[in-house]
Amino acid sequence: MTEQAQPLDRTLVPLTGLRGIISRSMTQAWQAPRVALGLDVPMDALLARAKAISAETGVKVTPTALMLRALALTLKQHPRLNALLTDKGIEEVHAVNLAVAVHTDKGLVTPVIRDADSKDSVQLASELVEMANAARNGKLAPSAYQKGTFTLSNLAAAGIDWVTPILNPPQVGILGVGQTREAVVVRDGAPAVAKVATLNLVFDHRAVDGYPASLFLRDLGACLQAAEL
C-alpha cells in the first residue's frame, strides 16, 4: 500500500472546506471558560399561541419562531448576553442578530436573522424557513452568516431532551433547546401533566457572571411561558 492510499475498511473525511471551518471554530470555542445553566419551561401556552397565530395569518408559525421572538425581546433587556468578546473587550451590540444552527448535508451552519427584535413572530417564521432552506441548498451568500450576536441551537426534531451547545465565537451566549415532552409539574400545590422543554444557556464567563446569566434565562423562561408574542 502506498503512502497516499487509504485502508479499505474506513473512510477519511478531510478537515477541509466547511468541515475544516467547523473544526477550527469549535476548537476556538472550547478554549473559552464556559458555563451552562438549565431551566425546564412549560410550553403549553406557547404551543397554543403558535397554533392560533398560524390559523389567524395563514402562515405556519412554529414554536421555534416564537422562541426567536422571545429571545429577541429578552436580549434587549439583558444586553450583556447580546454581545461579542473581542480583543478590545466586551462589545454589547445594539441590534439583535440571531444566528440559528441549521444542519446541512455538509455540516452545521449558523445563518443570521438580522434585527430580529424589530420583527414580529410571523416575519420571523417566514424568514426562518426561507433562510434554513437556502442554507441547506447552499444558496446563501457569505454575508448571511456574519454579524450574529447570539445563537439558538434547537435539537427538538432529533428527539433529545436537552443539549449544552458549544459557543459560537465571538458571541458570549448560545441557547440549546431539546424536545417538548410530557412531564409532571406542580400547579397550585397539586401534580399535573404539562408539556415541558429544557433550555440550556451556555455563556462565556469572561463576559458574563452566573447571576446575571441566570436572570436572563429566568426572564426568557417567563416570556415563553406567558407566550405573549
Q: Write out the three cell numbers for 12.
A: 477519511
Catalytic status, residue 78: no
Do residues 111 and 131 touch, judged by C-beta distance below 8 A? yes
Could you please report the per-residue DSSP string of 85-121? EETTEEEE-SS--EEE-EEETTEEE--EETTGGGS-H
Residue 86, class by beta-carbon neighbours within 10 Å (0-12 exposed, 13-18 middle, 19+ buried)? exposed
As annotated, the active-site residues are 205
